[in-house]
Amino acid sequence: MNILGVGIAASACNGYQNDGVMIAAASDAFWDGGSACGRNYKVECRGATNQGDPNPCRGQDYMVVKIVDYCPSGCQGTIDLSQEALAAIANPDAGKIEILLPLL
């Protein structure tokens, strides 16, 4: 599973706009018709994809993000972390990283 490290704009999840910076947007694989809104996931950097930094993991061993948005085209089988969430576990310039993503 990969994540995209790009910012999140306006939220598709009503009521979650002010939930801090450890947030993410869900692709169709996680969106579940909007039921993903408010779900928390433990995100652990597992390594590089075939793009970007070959050793992107750094910082915390893991962190928890809340799904606050929908990630449309370009997000396939991924979640899109806020820049702050990505920076907590990986090099923000890595682009995409492989993660372990259990639901809490």
- Residue 30 to residue 33: CA distance in whole angstroms: 9
More confident of the two residues 74 and 28: 28
- Tell which phi-psi region holds residue 38, choosing left (phi > 0), alpha (psi between -120 and 50) or beta: left
- Parallel/antiparallel/unpaired status of strands 63-70 and 23-26: parallel
pLDDT per position as a tens digit, 15-71: 777 788 999 999 998 899 999 999 999 999 988 876 667 888 988 888 999 999 998
Looking at domain 23-100, its CATH architecture is Beta Barrel (2.40)
pLDDT of residue 36: 93
Residue ranges covered by each domain of the chain? 23-100
Amino acid of residue 70:
Y
The pTM of the full predicted model, rounded to 2 decimals, is 0.81
- Residue 49 to residue 84: CA distance in whole angstroms: 20
